[in-house]
Every structure is written in C-alpha cells, then in structure tokens.
Structure 1
Amino acid sequence: MISSLRHSGWVDLPIILVALTVLSQPFGVSFELFTLIMAILGVRYLIINDNHFRGSPEVKCFTSLFACFWVPALLSLPDAYMFKKGAIDALGMLRFYFAGVFVIHAASSVKVHERLACVVASIVIFWIVDAWVQFVFSADIFGIVSYSSSRVSGLFGDDPVLGWMLVVYMGITAAGVYQWVGKAGFLIVLPILVATIFISGNRGAWLAVAWVFLFAVIIAFLWRVKVSKKIVLGSFLVMGVVIAGLSTNEGVKGRITHTFQGLGTADYASLDRATAYRLTLWSTAVDMIEDNWINGVGLKSFRYAYPDYAEPDDVYILRSPEGKPKTGAFHGHQIVIDALAGTGLFGFIGLLVAFWLVFWRFFWQAVQTKQWIPMGYYCGMVGVLFPINTHLSLYKAYWAQAFWLLAALFVASLVTYAREVGGDIKSSYPQDES
C-alpha cells in the first residue's frame, strides 16, 4: 500500500509537510514543528543552489512580498518599546521565509500542485463537516464545545479563528473540488463553505468573503468562464436559503442583531459596542501613530505601548498582577492601523507595495496563467490582505504561518503552471506598466 502511494507521488515530501502543517493548525503551536522542518530544508536548498536562487523568478516574487513586512519590522526595532522581544520575533520571521523557499523549490510540478490542492481541500472539508456537527449538536466530532453560544469554532476550540482560516483556504478548496468533480461540485461546495464562515461568527471574515467574491467575479469575467445560469442561480439560492435559515438560530441571530443595532445608530457608544470596542482601540492606536509616525512603537510592542495612550477605563487594558506592568490590546485589529502603529511610515510604505504586488502584479499574472489552482491560492491572499479587514496581525505567528505558506504555494504554482502549461510570468501583466 505504502509502496503504491509512493509510486503514485502521494507521499512526496512537500505534500506530507504541507498537509501536516495545515492539519495541525487547529491545535495551537504544533504547526511550528513542520514549519521548522521546512525552514531547515529551505536553508539547505539556498546553500546548495545559490546560483539557481538568484535567477529563480518564483523566489524573487516571494522575497519581494516578504521584504514588504520584514524590512519595516527591522526598522521598527531601534526605539521599540520591547526591543528584545521585537528582535527575537523579527529574527523568527525568517523561518516562514525559509519554509516558503522550500515549498517553492519542492512543489515544482503540476502533478504535485494538483495533489496538494486535493489534500488541502480534504482537510478543509473535514473542518467544515466538524463545524456543522458542532453547530447542530453543540459539540463537534471529538466532543469539543464552542467557546461561545453565538459562534462555531469546530476543531479550533477556544480560538475563534475558524472563519478566518476558511477564508485563507476557501479558494484552494474550491479549486481542489473543481479538479475532482468539475464545476457542479465547485458550485455546491462554495455555498456550504460560505455558510460555514457565516456560522463561525467572525464578522470580519464575512466582509472578507464579499471582497474575495468581488475578485472572483472579475476573474470569471476576464476568463470568460461559461457556467449554466441554472447552476449559478441554484447555488446562490441554496446559499441564500441556508443563511436565511441560520439567521433564525438564537446565537447567530443575537450576533447579527447586536451588530446591526449598533451600526444603525449615530451614537458613538453604541457603535463602539457593536464593533467590539474597536473604535476605542483604533482611537488609542491613532494616538500611538501620532507620537511614533516614523517607525512605530516597534514589532510586537503594541500591547505594551497601549496603556500609555489609553484612557483609564479602556476595556482593553489588562490588569496585571502587582509589580508587573499593565498591557493592552494585542494588535490594532485593522491591517493599515496595525502597520502604522507597529512599524510606522516604513510599515505603511511596505504595506502599499504589498498591495501593489498582490492586487496588481500578481493579479494579472494569475489571470494570464488562467489556471484554477494558482487562482485558488490567490483568492486566499486577497482575503488575507483585504485593505479594510479587521483580522489578526500578520506579525502574529499563527496568522503569519498560514499567510506565508499560502503565498509560497501561490508563487510556486504560478511559475510551475506558466512553465509546464504555457505563459511567462514576466510578461503576464499589462505591458504599459513602467
């Protein structure tokens, strides 16, 4: 059995390590082991293949995107609130880079990417099934209870990130299903996936899904994708009926009502409560930015700088034991504010360059390649780098690991398909670009 799997290519090293990394994400820091293994293999590759590294378009693309976040992190260190912690984390970020280099080097054939897509899709579908079991029976397949009655967290337990992780992998899951059973399966799985994000209760993820769908519609138009109108309408009808039904659930209904009651009023306090006191957090973050606009308060220093700028009754202030300093919110909960507060003007410039790479250059490269798997990874990147999102910080290890794995798989698949199927990524975006 093992021999036949090895012969078929299903036990290739990149498939195993990527699968284990994704599979372990609901279980805390266990993914770090597989990331570390990939990072060590990535360093080995760079040492052995130095000449190939300098001429590799996929590594250059990945390096450019990584530099948009790593360089500002380094520049934020000189006067950071927590220099030692920031320096350790900045150095630690390199594990994601080297792991990405390994993925790019090892996932270098269309067959590997097709199998990876199927494996990742299988894992995500299991998360979805498990989440619905928890929604219906109050406990998932393994007896895990969601930490909140208004949310479903599935295997992620006390960590409310199920919706965000589904945003990361929704594109490649849809692409993997398309590889298996074609457009009909794709249009069946998609509404179920969106409905699962809905019951997760991650309101920022709801908004990110709309953003991803906008890009998906643009891409479908540019590709001139032809799908039966009956199938499309049926898919949206199923999605609408499911979400309408779910909205009658007391937990979900309460979350929706709480949100729209606050958004429907001009009262600052009500709006602040409806956004989980994000207005308070952002107001404090703006004060931080005004005082530290060049290079921010420092990488991973946001929570330590927060009490110096917060009001005495700020809900985000954590009252530490006697003798220890107070801390505040972990990060800015908004990608632009988070970049400006933590890494200042340098971080903002890096973020703008990242936006240009993802929403312009990579977009046209993916459109020109016209392949489902690269586009699946691309849609995940679009969801993560949603310009007005309120998700986790890209400097948080858990979220960073998922994003950089996704980015590495995207550039690896993009170049691989361009090489084996046709096209040239160097010329796959508008030629009037300077």
Structure 2
Amino acid sequence: MTSSSPTETSLRWAPWWVLAFVALWPVHGPAEVVLSLGALAALAVLALSRFRGGMTLLSHEAWALTSVLFCAYWIPELVSSIDAVDAGRALRESLVDLRYLPFLWLVAMAVADERGRRLTFGGIAVIATLWLVDGLVQAATGWSVGGPATADRLSGVFGAENLKLGLVLASLAPFPLAAASQRFGVVGWLLMAAALVVVVLLAGARASWLTLGLVLVFSGWRQLGSKRAMLVLGLGGALLFALSMTFSDKLQERVERTEAALNGGTEGLDHALSGRLPIWQAAWNMAVAHPVNGIGVRGFRQAYPEYAVEGDPWLQDAEHGAGYHAHQIVLEVLSETGSIGLLLWLGGVALAWRAWRFATPAARARAAVPALALGVTVFPLNTHLAFYSTFWGGLTLLLAALYSGSLLARPGDADDADPGAR
C-alpha cells in the first residue's frame, strides 16, 4: 500500500464538501455559495500542489474526461454569446459558469479512491432517503420540512414554490437503491423502489415518472435478473400505481392527461404534453433561424414572442412561464446554442461512452451508480428542466464529475473493485 501524499490527505474533506452542496439544493442561495467556495478551494489546493505531486489527485484520464465534459457544456455557452438576443446575459452566464470547472475537479477528486466513493455515494444515498422519508410523511400527513402541502402535488423539502422533489429523487434514485441493496439485499432494494415510486408518482412531474422507470429497469435488471425484474417491476408497479390512483385525485388527472396522447391528433398530444407543442415549435423556429450558434443561452424567454406561432396560448398567459425554456434537452441545445452546441454535446456523450467501453469491469462497477444517474438525467426522449439553468446544470455536471472520477480512479486504486458500487 502506498502512503498518501500531503495533498491527498488534505483533500479528505472533499466528499463532505460535495455532500454539503447536494444537501443544500432545496435552499438555492447557500448551495451556490458552497459551489463557489468549493471551486476556490480546489484552485487553492491545485496551486499549492502543482509542484508537489498534484497529478496524483486524479488520474490523467480522469482529469481529461472531467475537463472535456465541462467543455462540451461550457463552450456552446460562450460561442452562443457572440450574437445572442441578450448578449450581455449570455456572456455573463458563460463567465459565471467557469467556476464549475474547478468544482468538477474537486468532485472527481472526492471519488477518486475507495474511501471517497464510499462517503460520497453513501452520503448522497442518505440525503435522498431523508428527502424521500419527508415526502412520505407529507403524503400521509400533509406536513413536510419544506412546509405544508399547499400545491397540488408533493413538494417535500423543496417547498410548494419549488416543485422539483420528484425530478431530483428520480435522478438520484440509483444511489439509495444501491445503498439499500448493499445493506439489505433484494428486500432492501424492493422497499426502496416502492417508496421511490410512491413519492415520485405523487410529486406529479411526469418527466420524473419516465426517469424513475428507466432507473428501476436498469437497476432491477442488475439486482434481480431480467425475468424476475420484469415480473416484480410489472406487478409491483401496477399495485402501487393502483393504490396511488385510489388516493390521489390529482394523480388521476395526470394519468388521464397522459392517456390523451393515445386518442390521436395534435390536440390530444398537446394536451398530454401540458401544452408544450407550441413551445417546441417556437424552439425549432429559433434553431432554424439561428442554425450556427443559436439565440444565446438563457435567451429563450426573450426570443419567444418573435418565434412563437400565431395564436400561441403561452403568449396569452404571461404569468405561467412555460415559455421560459424549451423543456427538452435537444431542442434547448439547438435553439440556444445551435448546431455547434449540439455537436459539442454529442462529442461529450461519445467520449463518455468511449471511456465506459474501454474501462475494466472493476472500473465499470465503481462507476455504475453515477453512470446510471447521469444517463437517465440526460435521456433525450423525455421532457426536462433547463440544462443551462444554475440548478439543473449544476446537478447534471455534478453527476458527470462523479462518473468521471469513479470510472477513471487514481493509479493504485483503478484495479480495486469498489464493493460500494456493486
């Protein structure tokens, strides 16, 4: 066993910094402070260790992949600001988002060894489980740490003015599922899956239903085997869905809205998509009008009236806010960053996939949990929050760094399978 360098020892706090960032997501301001301070701390550590073995903090491959995935996200921002509809804001967003790069290095360093992965993955699982329990309590009593259930869906710790509970739990679901499976086996996995289904269903965001469904299929396949997974997920999902439908009128309304897509016709599809077809049409019009570098990140709301079709219902409902972003990752990238942005995003996906393909079985086992979380979060056949917003962009980049740092661990750790990721 090799001894730890002073720099490695000084970074033993890195997992706790990552966990503080995740735990503070429900309160946006403090989470931003932790992110910014973490970026500065990472830069300070790198500056102090540059000539004292700093490259031992991460493998060369992890440095490269983390940086490349950041660039695939950030360079489209910068290029889009050249002739953006709101050039000042687009450029400001690009400059502010530079802080993500050192923070992502810090996140990757946090999971570059077995101890760091155990603390970070286990800590995220604990945080998600606490939010899950809070959601279950709110479903039963109407009370939550985030306040009473004043909205038409579960809001949990995020509060009724910030309805992200279902989306966040669905994206983070691989972490508590893996932890429950490791500690309690199949029974633990099944109980955690059932709790996630109840809360995510009642949280109401149908995009999170699909995200969680993908997580349960892939995680269940690995945990139970293909036939048992399909049987258990089918029967269990049907039972929980029936119970939720029985006790939730709002859930029934959302299911009926979803079923409208099966009736055929544009009106039924638009109703099932909560009126998003006009938004997607406007996003496509922006992409066609600005095919090279888009209208500029975070300029969607300002450009919307110009590119909306005649009679667009969202222009008659200014308070709704559905026209603030494209609600779909491919259309967001195309409309706001153009073909340059889409090519760079696809390049990032290709490199992440290439790293997975050529990784050892032990490395894949280490990175399986964040890989699944990242994959379902950016799954293109779904609706999404804005990836160039601070909150969802930060969540996505965090998962990318967890994936890079755990897949391409430090030399000396790369061949050691991590039981916590199994």
Q: TM-score range by the shorter chain?
A: 0.7 to 0.9
What's the counterpart of residue 389 of structure 2?
396
What's the counterpart of residue 283 of structure 2?
285
Distance 1:193 1:303, change over 3 A: same
Tell me the CA shift for residue 198 of structure 1.
Answer: 1.8
Aligned partners of 2:173 and 2:215 also within 8 Å: no
Tell me the CA shift for residue 15 of structure 1.
Answer: 2.8
Distance 2:120 2:273 in 1: 37
What's the counterpart of residue 429 of structure 1?
none
What's the counterpart of residue 293 of structure 2?
295
Tell me the CA shift for residue 375 of structure 1.
Answer: 0.8
The 5 A counterparts of 1:18-417 are 18-50=18-50, 52=54, 56-141=60-145, 143-148=147-152, 151-157=153-159, 158-213=161-216, 215-216=218-219, 220=222, 233=231, 237-248=235-246, 249-260=248-259, 262-311=260-309, 313-317=311-315, 329-358=323-352, 360-364=353-357, 368-369=361-362, 372-416=365-409
Gap runs ≥5 in structure 1: 1-8, 322-326, 425-434
Letter in 1 for 2:66: F
Distance 1:231 1:217 in 2: 5
Aligned partners of 1:173 and 1:376 also within 8 Å: no
Moved more, 342-351 or 411-420: 411-420
Tell me the CA shift for residue 183 of structure 1.
Answer: 3.8
Distance 1:337 1:182 in 2: 41
Tell me the CA shift for residue 337 of structure 1.
Answer: 0.7
Distance 1:305 1:412 in 2: 38
Distance 1:394 1:59 in 2: 23
Residues 188-209 of structure 1: per-residue CA shift (max 9 Å, x gap) = 2123223322221111122223
Q: Give the count of matched residue pairs.
A: 402
Aligned partners of 1:171 and 1:378 also within 8 Å: no
Distance 1:198 1:366 in 2: 36
Distance 1:144 1:303, change over 3 A: same
Distance 2:381 2:224 in 1: 31
Distance 1:315 1:114, change over 3 A: same
Aligned partners of 1:21 and 1:34 also within 8 Å: yes
Tell me the CA shift for residue 143 of structure 1.
Answer: 3.6
Letter in 2 for 1:59: W
Distance 1:117 1:105, change over 3 A: closer
Distance 2:308 2:230 in 1: 49
Residues 389-423 of structure 1: per-residue CA shift (max 9 Å, x gap) = 21112111001111112221222222238842617
Distance 1:49 1:354 in 2: 29
Distance 1:174 1:417, change over 3 A: farther
Tell me the CA shift for residue 216 of structure 1.
Answer: 4.1
Aligned partners of 2:81 and 2:90 also within 8 Å: yes
What's the counterpart of residue 5 of structure 2?
none
CA RMSD of aligned residues (A): 3.0
- Detail structure 1 runs of 4+ shifted over 6 Å in the superposition: 228-232, 318-321
Distance 1:114 1:339 in 2: 34
Aligned partners of 2:23 and 2:127 also within 8 Å: yes
Tell me the CA shift for residue 57 of structure 1.
Answer: 1.4
Aligned partners of 1:371 and 1:417 also within 8 Å: no
Gap runs ≥5 in structure 2: 1-8, 418-422
Distance 1:242 1:85, change over 3 A: same
